Amino acid sequence: MTSDESARFDALARAILGAIGGASNVRRHFHCMTRLRLVLVDPDRADVAALKALPAVLGVVPGEPLQIVIGPGAVAQASAAFAAVLAEQPAQAEAASADVGRPAVVTAAAAAAAPATGTREPAARPARRNTAAHRFLRRIASIFTPLIPALIGAGLLNAIAGLLKVWVAQAPAGGAGTLMFAATVASIVGSAFFAFLVIQVGMNAAAEFGGTPCLGGATAGILILPAIAKLPAFALPILGEIALKPGQGGLMGALLAGALTAGIERSVRARIASAAQTLLAPTVALGLAGIATLFVIMPVAELLTQAVGSLTATLLRAGGMPAAFVLAASFVGLLMFGLHQALIPIHAQLIAQYGYTALFPILAMSGCGQAGAAFALYFRTRDPRLKQTIRNTLPTCMLGVSEPLLYGVTLPLGRPLITASLGGGMGALVLGYCAAHGHDVGATTIGPANLMLIPLVTGPMGLVASVATYCAAVAVAYSSGFVLTWFFGLSDAQRRADGTSGVDGTSGVDGTERQPAVAAAL
């Protein structure tokens, strides 16, 4: 990063900090692929309008956490700059943890001191976005969002291993051994994360619910301990006889184990003297949560895990094309409000259970429809500012991150948001047809989408057929989004506009005015 870029990110971080009420108002922060997420002590102190006015900010999603859309690549640098600025503030030491990309521990005292969530937006907006369901989904997202980089890296390595194994069959005798060795190494490195994923989920869950991360990880680690198989079978009401085995309960079990450990730890610390907390709190929390994990959480979570897999299969088999269309066409709604991250545990569990997630390629069609719509807008409009915005955001969308294009182009225009969503749904029809006939097209990882997902596709049909089917779906989504937007995406006035249409990426997530979304090359 050059000195100029460093200065811009530093200025952005300081502007964000000033708009949210200073360092003392930040409890913790982390980021995903495109958004800086802030958990604030007092959300009412955040000036949402000021955040939207920042040139490098693509959009703002009020709520808990407060989500500031910055874009791929730039968000990591902005988050690092934000952490550096926070480190300069003495008040921050007690108010938050400055860990980047990972949930931080929230003390019980801080949690008790935090007021009800809200923003300076109209009162009705926080009420809609801070329901119990929204808070639950955001907690789930906070647990799994920090895992995305490892999910992407491990998934890519596993995909590379799969490709190398395919090439082994066509390689000359002298090269087959080398390719197989490389495939084995890639598979080992890529599989390590998934083998111990439950421990990381347990740690993040404990942190999210106000406990000590390592205790949550220790409890969740019970799920994959080989010694579990030596325990005798036992009976539970309703569930009947249970024979435990390593891995039973999966990620849902790890999440529940981490959350339970945090709850017990907080309860113990609140009831005993400070002098005894160091020894008793972790021992009691780990002991009680561990027993509950073995004899309650693992059996129950296993049923939930099996239910997720069965429901997904039933949805795609029975729902087929209509279900796929609805999933892809409506996915942009989840994306706009940051709730798409709540699907991560479902994808991760499907990958752990089947080796791929059949839902992700279907949802990825939403971004393909956005890209097709952007191509149509580029050739249809005369507005040079809109063309420039599309040039800046379309490549990113084609590489799998559609939020800059969404917030800068299709959402402000309105009509293209609908035509793009319909185009994505049309592409999903191809995948839905295959799924209805038992030929799922799945992804070995999550994160990369659109064209970047092509090398990560697999399924019962085999690598070549699965990739070909996905490419066909992408082509349908692009072309449908293009055609629908060409004919219905712009009004006559917008098509004739020469730069006075007002559509230059200046709308925020809720349509309010801000500076051009891509004005800064951050």
The catalytic residue positions are 32
Mode of pairing for the β-strands spanning 234-236 and 59-61: unpaired
Supply the DSSP string of 264-278, one letter for each residue: HHHHHHHHS-HHHHH
The answer to whether 507 and 411 are in contact (CB under 8 A) is: yes
- Give Cβ neighbours of residue 446 (< 8 Å, ≥ 6 apart): 148, 151, 152, 155, 344, 347, 348, 351, 357, 360
In this structure, the chain runs to a length of 522
The answer to whether 19 and 66 are in contact (CB under 8 A) is: no
Task: With H, G, I as helix, E, B as strand and everything else as coil, classify residue 149.
Answer: helix
- C-alpha distances (whole Å) from 23 to each of 29, 40, 87, 98 are 11, 10, 9, 10
- Give Cβ neighbours of residue 437 (< 8 Å, ≥ 6 apart): none
- C-alpha distances (whole Å) from 289 to each of 118, 227, 285, 499, 506 are 34, 18, 6, 62, 50
Closest listed residue to residue 323, CA positions, set 358, 357, 372, 368: 358
Task: With H, G, I as helix, E, B as strand and everything else as coil, classify residue 443.
Answer: strand
Closest listed residue to residue 358, CA positions, set 473, 480, 475: 473
Closest listed residue to residue 378, CA positions, set 468, 456, 515, 489: 489
Residues 11, 12, 14, 19: what is their CA dihedral angle, to the nearest 10 degrees? 140
Closest listed residue to residue 383, CA positions, set 215, 501, 212, 491: 501
| Whole-angstrom Cα Rg for the chain | 24
Burial of residue 300 (CB within 10 Å: 0-12, 13-18, 19+) is middle
The Cα–Cα gap between 278 and 273 comes to 10
